[in-house]
Amino acid sequence: MITQSYVESLAMKGARIDGRKFDQYREVTIEYGISPKSAEGSARVKIGDTEVVAGVKLEVGKPFPDKPDEGSIMVNVELLPLSSSLFESGPPSQEAIELARVTDRGIRECHALNFKKLCVKEGEHVWLAFIDIYPINAGGNLFDACTLAALAALHDARFPVFDGKKVDYAERTKDQLPMERLPISCTVWKVRDQLLVDPLPEEEQAANARLTVVTTEDNKVCAMQKGGTEPLTVDEIMAIVDLAKNKSEELRRFFR
Amino acid sequence: MKYTKRFDGRKFDELRPIQARVGVVKNAMGSAEFKIGKTHAIAAVYGPRELFPKFLQLSDRALLRCHYNMMAFSGSGERVRPGPSRRSKEISMVTEKALEPVVNLGEFPRAVVDVYVELIQTDAGTRCAGICAAALALADAGFEMKDLVAAISCGVVGDQPVVDLNKEEEDYEDGAVDIPIAVMPHTGQVTLLQLDGEIDPEHLRKALDMGKKACEQIADVQRAALRAKYTEE
Amino acid sequence: MSTLLVQEKQVVIPGDVLAEGMEFLPGKGARRENDNVIATRVGIVSPNGHVIHIIPLSGGYSPRANDVVIGEIKDMSYSSWFVDIGYPYEASLSLKEASSEFIERGASLSDYFSIGDIVLIKVINVTKEGNIDLTMRTPELRKLRGGKIVTVASPKIPRVVGKLGSMITLIKEKTGCHIFAGQNGRVWIQGPSPAAEKLATEAIMLIDKKAHVSGLTAIVSSFLEKSKKE
C-alpha cells in the first residue's frame, strides 16, 4: 500500500523505500540444476524477494526453411498467479509476452548461443531449445530476473542423446550448449527525473518509463526495449545505456 | 512375476526422502514446498478474497479453487505443452475435494480461496505431493482447519503391496495398481481415493493400511515444517 | 481424569490434541472432538484456566466493532464511499458518517474524500452478511497524508502495539516517527527522514518475523540501538 506519491517524494529526496542507492541491486543468487531429472537445463534466480525459475527442454526438429543450417530457441514466460495476486490464470498477457520477447531478443540477437552449432543435419534435423520461465515470487524487476534465469538455464543445459531418429531423454551427455557470448540485460526505470535499477513493485508502479538494455562482454549494445507511457530524451537514453553497461558487468561475474 | 525387491532398493513400506518447507512465496497468504523423491511441488494460497463473476459465489461458504499445473520442463521426456489439460483439470478437482473436508470455509461466505499448485519436477506421486503442499499452505495461511491432509500413492506392484510408487513401478510390465489416497492424519479418514489397475479386496486392504501409515509419517514432516518457521531464531 | 498435553506458548498445528478429558474446554482456535480438545489453527497455546485458546500466528483480518483500521478509498456511489480494509467484503462509509464536523444537506462526497485517499477509519459494525459499516466521526479519525504503510499479518498487531502501547512507543521514540497500527495489519509510518522511516519499517518487520518469541521488546530495543549507532 505504498503510494506512488510516496515513491516520488522519496526519489526527490534522493532516497528509496528500502534505503538502497539508485544504482544498487538487491542480493542476487543463482542456483543451477533445480529440476535436473526432467529438464535438460534449469536454474533459479533470486533478486531480493523476486524469485524466478527457468528450464530448458531440447528437442530435435526441422529447421526454418530460410535457415536450414540453424537451430533456434523458443522463449515462453508464464506469469503464474502463484507468484502474485496481480496475475490471473489464462492465456499469456501482454506483460508476459513482452518479457518473453525481450528475453528472446537478448539471447538470439546477441548470439549468446551459436545457432549454427545446433545443426545436426542440414535441412533435416536441428536442435531447438525451449526455454520456459516462471516467477515463483514477483517482487519487482522480473525483466532482469527472467533474462538471467534463461541464460543460467542455458548454461546448465546438457544435450540428451539423439540417434538420428529420436531423442533419448533418459540418456544425458556431458556436452554443453554452444554458448558463445554472455549478454546481460539491465532494465533502468525512471521515477520523476530519477533513474534507478532493480525496482520494487511499488517503484515500477510509480515509474513513467523504462528501458531494458542488453550488453555483451565487449561493450556492445545488442538489444533494447523501451516501455512506459512517458518519452525519454536521447541524453537520458545514453545515460541509461551507460548505467546499464556497468550493472551488466557486475551481473556478468555470476557466469565466470 | 513376484516383485521381491524394489527398483530403488526401498523397503515395501518405505517412502522416498521427503522435504517440506513453508513460507516460500512471500506474496501469498500462505505457501509451502513439498518434495518426495524427485517430485517437487510448490503451493501458494491467495484469499479469502472477493469472487467475481457473482454467479460463482456460494451463499454460505467460500469457494475453494485449486489450480494444478505442471511446468513445461517438469516432465520426464518431452516438454509439456503449457496450459490446462484434462489431466490437470481433474487433478485440480480432486485436490479441492481432498482439502474441502478439513478447511472451515463457512467463515467466509461468498468469497474465494485460491490454491495454486505448481510442479517443478515430476517423478510419480505428483497429485499427492501437490495435496501435501496445498494442505501446508492453507495451514500456513492461518485458516481454521480440522486437521492437516497428507497424501501418498499406495498400491500393488506385481503381487506386492507398496507405498510411494515411483515411475518405474507405475509402469511395471507385469501389472501395477496405483492408489493415490489422502488422509486426515488425526482420525485416519480418507479424503481422496483413486485407483488404477486390477486388485482383489485383500490386497486393497493391505495397500490402504500401508498408505494410512505412510500418511502419518508424512504428517509428522508437515507438522515439523510448520513449527520450523517459529522455532528458528 | 483430564490431562493437558501441551504447555503454554507451545506452537501447535491443526489436528494436534491439546487435552484429553471433559474438564478442559476449547477456546479460540480449538474444538472439541469426543473427549479431546483439538487445535484448529497454527498458533501458540494460551490456557486461561480450563479454557485452552490458540493465539494464531498468521491469518487474515477479522473485523470487529470499534476496530480502528487503515483503509484506502476505492470507489463511491451516490451516498457512500467503498473502502478497502483488506477484508474480502464490502466496507462502506456513508456520507453522514464522513466527519465529526457538521455535514450540510446536499454536500458532495468529493468535498471530503477522493479515490486513492488513505484513511484512519473505524468499524461501527459487521452486518449479518459480513459487510462492514465504517465511520470517520470521532476526531482522531482522519485522512493520512504522506507517509508509508507497512503490512503485517493482522494477528501480529498486538505485538506491534505491545502491552499498554509499550512497543509502539519504543519505536516512535527511537525513530522519531509518527506511527499508527491499524487492527487490520496495516501500519502507517511518517518520519522526519526516509532513513527514520526505513528504521521504523525494519523494526516492525522484525516484530512480524518474531511475534511468537518472548522478550521481544528487548530484541527490538537492541536492534534499534544498534542501528542508530551505524
Mean pLDDT of A156-163: 96
What is the set of domains in chain A, with CATH numbers? 25-255 (3.30.230.70)
Q: How many residue pairs from chains A and B have C-beta atoms closer than 8 A?
A: 91
- Check if B46 contacts C (Cβ < 8 Å): no
Assigned domain for C63 exists: no
Residue C140: per-residue pLDDT: 85
Identify from A31, A82, A88, A128 which residue to disrupt to test chain B contact, counting B C-beta atoms within 10 A and taking the largest count.
A82
What percent of chain A has pLDDT above 90?
Answer: 95
What CATH number should be reported for the domain holding residue C163? 3.30.1370.10
Chains that touch A (3 or more CB pairs under 8 A): B, C
Question: Which of B109, B147, B184 is closest, CB to CB, to C130?
Answer: B109
How much of chain C exceeds pLDDT 90, in percent?
74
**pLDDT > 70 fraction of chain C, expressed in percent and rounded:** 98
The residue whose grid cell reads 510448520 is: B226
Strand partners, B32: B22, B43
User: What mean pLDDT comes out for the span A143-163?
Assistant: 96
Let me know if residue C62 belongs to a domain.
no
pTM given for the model: 0.95
The DSSP-derived string for chain C is: --EE-S-TT-EE-TT-EEEESTTSEE-TTEEEETTEEEE-SSEEEEEETTEEEEEESS------TT-EEEEEEEEE-SSEEEEE-SSSS-EEEEGGGS-SS---TT--GGGT--TT-EEEEEEEEE-TTS-EEEE--STT--BPPS-EEEE--GGGHHHHH-GGGHHHHHHHHHH--EEEE-TTSEEEEE-SSHHHHHHHHHHHHHHHHTTT-SSHHHHHHHHHHHHHH-
Looking at residues A43-64, what average pLDDT do you find? 97
User: Is residue C45 domain-shared with residue C100, that is, in the same domain?
Assistant: no
Average pLDDT over residues B218-231: 94
Give per-residue pLDDT as tens, B172-193. 988 899 999 999 999 999 999 9
8 A C-beta contact, residue A246 and residue A142: no
Running DSSP on this structure, what letter comes out for residue A177?
P
Q: What is the pLDDT of residue B1?
A: 61
CA-nearest residue of chain B to C60?
Answer: B142
Over residues A117-135, the mean pLDDT reads: 96
A6, A13, A19: residue with CB nearest C148: A6
Distance from CA of C91 to the nearest CA of A (A): 17
- Tens-place pLDDT, residues C111-131: 778 888 999 999 999 998 889
What mean pLDDT comes out for the span A113-123? 95
Q: Which CATH number fits the domain that encloses residue C84?
A: 2.40.50.140
Does residue C124 sit in the same domain as residue C191? no
Interfacial residues of A (vs C; Cβ cutoff 8 Å): 1-3, 5-6, 9-10, 13, 15-19
Out of B48, B145, B147, the one facing C88 most closely (by C-beta) is B48
Same-domain status, C90 and C163? no
Inform me whether the C-beta atom of residue B11 falls under 8 Å from chain C C-beta atoms: no
Q: Is residue C142 part of a domain?
A: no
CB pairs under 8 A between A and C: 28
pLDDT tens digits for C57-92? Answer: 999 999 999 999 999 999 998 889 999 999 999 999
Burial of C192 (0-12, 13-18, 19+ CB in 10 A): exposed
C131 and C169 together in one domain: no
pLDDT at residue C1 is higher than 80: no
Touching check for B230 and chain C: CB below 8 Å?
Answer: yes
Whether pLDDT at A156 is above 70: yes
Given pLDDT bands bounded at 50, 70 and 90, which one contains residue C229?
A: confident
Look at B230 and C57 and tell me if their CB atoms are within 8 Å. yes
- Please give the Cα distance from A167 to C110 (Å, whole number): 67
In a domain, C83, yes or no: yes
* B233: pLDDT strictly greater than 60: no
pLDDT at C168 over 80: yes
Q: Could you tell me which residues of chain A have a Cβ less than 8 Å from any Cβ in chain B?
A: 34-40, 42, 49, 51, 53, 55-57, 59, 76, 78, 80-85, 89, 130, 132, 134, 136-139, 169-170
What pLDDT shows up at residue A5? 87
User: Does C99 reside within a domain?
Assistant: yes
CB-nearest partner of A83 from B27, B74, B122: B27
Tell me the per-residue pLDDT of B74-112, one tens digit each, with 9 for 90 and over: 998 999 999 999 999 999 999 999 999 999 999 999 999
C-alpha cell at A98: 513482452
Q: Last residue of some domain: C111, C135, C159?
A: C135
Q: pLDDT value at position C98?
A: 84
Question: For residues C198 and C175, is the Cβ–Cβ distance under 8 A?
Answer: no
Instruction: State chain C's mean pLDDT as an integer.
Output: 91
Distance CA C4, CA C46 (A): 12
Please report whether residue C111 resides in a domain. yes
pLDDT given for residue B110 in this prediction: 94
- Round the average pLDDT of chain A to a whole number and report it: 95
- Pick from C56, C88, C212: CB nearest B49: C88
User: Rounded mean pLDDT of A152-176?
Assistant: 95
Residue C141: inside a domain = no
Is the confidence at residue A195, as pLDDT, over 80?
A: yes
Find the CB nearest B76 among A34, A136, A169. Answer: A169
Model pLDDT for residues B115-133, shown as the tens digit of each residue: 999 999 999 999 999 999 9
Cβ neighbours of C195 in A, within 8 Å: 15, 19
CA angle (C182, C183, C185) in 5-degree steps: 75
What is the DSSP track for chain B? ----S-TT---TTPPPPEEEEE---TTSSEEEEEEETTEEEEEEEEEEEE-SSGGG--SSSPEEEEEEEE-TT-SSSSPPPSS--HHHHHHHHHHHHHHTTTB-GGGSTTEEEEEEEEEEE-SS-HHHHHHHHHHHHHHHTT--BSS--EEEEEEEETTEEEES--HHHHT-TT-EEEEEEEEETTTTEEEEE--BS---HHHHHHHHHHHHHHHHHHHHHHHHHHHHHHH--
Give yes or no for residue C100 having a pLDDT over 80.
no
Q: What is the tens place of the pLDDT at every residue in C2-60?
A: 889 999 989 999 999 999 999 999 999 999 999 999 999 999 999 999 999 999 999 99
Mark which residues 83-122 of C lie under 8 Å from A by CB.
116, 118
pLDDT of residue B232: 61
Question: Would you state the cell numbers that stand for residue C4, as one nine-digit string?
Answer: 493437558
Identify whether residues C222 and C153 lie together within a single domain. Answer: yes
One domain for residues C76 and C26 = no
Residue C79 covered by a domain = yes
- Quote the minimal CA–CA distance from B48 to chain C in Å: 6
The range of the structural domain enclosing residue C222 comes to: 148-229
Q: Number of structural domains, chain C?
A: 3
How many degrees, rounded to 5, is the angle at CA A153 between CA A148 and CA A154? 100
Average pLDDT score over chain B: 95
d(C-alpha B207, C-alpha B193), whole Å:
12
C29 shares contact with chain B (CB less than 8 Å): yes
| Domain limit, last residue, from C26, C56, C86 | C56
**ipTM score of the complex?**
0.95
Q: Is the peptide bond before B48 cis (omega within 30 degrees of 0)?
A: yes
Lowest mean pLDDT among A20-24, A189-193, B227-231, C176-180: B227-231
Last residue of a domain, one of C135, C169, C185: C135
pLDDT tens, residue by residue, B30-51: 999 999 999 999 999 999 999 9
CA–CA gap between residue C18 and residue C16 (Å, rounded) = 6
Walk me through the domains of chain B, giving residue ranges and CATH numbers.
18-231 (3.30.230.70)
Asked whether residue C212 carries a pLDDT value surpassing 90, the answer given is no
- Mean pLDDT calculated for residue range A73-84: 98
Mean pLDDT of B188-211: 95
Residue C205 has pLDDT above 90, yes or no: yes
CB–CB of A35 and B74 under 8 A?
yes
Mean pLDDT, residues A210-215 taken together: 96
Residues C110 and C156 in one domain: no
